[in-house]
Amino acid sequence: MNKGEKMKNNIKKWILIILGVCLWEVAVFFGSYIYDSMNPQKVLLAQHEESQSSQSDNSSAEREHDYKNDIGATTNVINILFLGIDKTDERESWLGVYRSDTIAIARIYLDSKKIKVLNIPRDTYTYVPIANKMDKINHAFAFGSVNGNGVQASLNAVSHFFDKQIIDYYFTMNMEPIPSIVDEIGGVKLDVEIDMKNHGANLKKGLQVLNGKQAFYYIRWRYSAGGDIDRIKRQQKFISALYTQQRDSGKIIETLNIILKHKNNIQTDLNIKQLIGLAASLSDIPNGNVTYYTIPGTCKMINGISYWLPDENNTNEIIKEFLC
């Protein structure tokens, strides 16, 4: 082999080595990307630590943390629609469509560190755009879910109820993972207000730590005198107890981490960075700065069906106070 051929072979060898290294780096990059995509908790915690480190580096500026920037919000007030969906394996096997059993809007004031939560009773009698008729507001999700548009149908119904578009983001979750989430948190301490001994529930009145199954029945049980309105009060009470417990123990981020393990049961237009920003802002809300509201009204039978008929004057006052 002459000198020229040797040089050619050496060049080819080095080209192959360089190509091999490049292909290896590409494979590692995409492997890491896919792994991270399948493990949002890892990304969430890493980004949170980076955010905390950045805050520490800038501590000399002694300024309030800019949650608005973290979340990517255009204003310091954001409205998030939360939907609790009655989807379970059993219901899916025999029905295939689902309703939004819980409809709540959280109005978060990022600068003044306060939250307002407004619940809309699921049986609220209102115009449902997707069905082009008056109906229960939670039927919007059912009509929409037939074509995979349950969230958008609910957003449209809520916007019509308010007579304007007020929702910035949405977060929906199937109810089925709640027992697992509560168990992994370690239970929720709560003062159960009455005995619940039917329709699957087996709870005694009094202060206790609810496990996952007990918590699930507590927030779904609606067999007291006030029916669904009493259930909304219990859901508000449970959320308040859960939030206070996790905030005071410094575990808001950890709780979000646990919830995101059930990503197959979640739909949201918030990305990981925004969720981290929201969780961080919730960690910073003082006691007494969370207020709960429920759309007022009365039960009324219409064509043999029970609806929640909003009291127009009081509802307008509640909405005005909620949005101020």
What is the distance of C-alpha 89 from the center of its chain? 20
Greater confidence (56 vs 267) lies with: 267
Evaluate if residue 35 carries a pLDDT over 60: no
Output the pLDDT for position 32: 47
Q: In sequence order, which ranges of 58-149 are alpha helices (DSSP H)?
A: 67-71, 89-94, 139-145
191-216: pLDDT as tens digits: 999 999 999 899 999 999 999 999 99
CA distance 215 to 181: 10
To 10 degrees, the CA torsion angle through 283, 44, 83, 217? -80
pTM assigned to the model: 0.80
**In this predicted structure, what is the pLDDT of residue 168?**
96
Residue 33 has pLDDT above 70, yes or no: no
Q: Which residues contact 127 (CB under 8 A, 6 or more apart)?
A: 133, 134, 157, 160, 161
pLDDT tens digits for range 277-296: 999 999 989 989 999 999 99
d(CA 86, CA 297): 24
The pLDDT tens digits of the residues spanning 217-248 come to: 999 999 999 999 999 999 999 999 999 999 99
Please report which confidence band the pLDDT of residue 147 belongs to, taking 50, 70 and 90 as the band edges: confident
Give the chain's mean pLDDT. Answer: 84
- Structure confidence by residue, pLDDT tens digits, 37-80: 444 444 444 444 454 454 444 443 334 567 777 777 777 899 99
DSSP annotation string for 109-163: ETTTTEEEEEE--TTBEEEETTTTEEEETTHHHHHHHTTT-HHHHHHHHHHHHHT
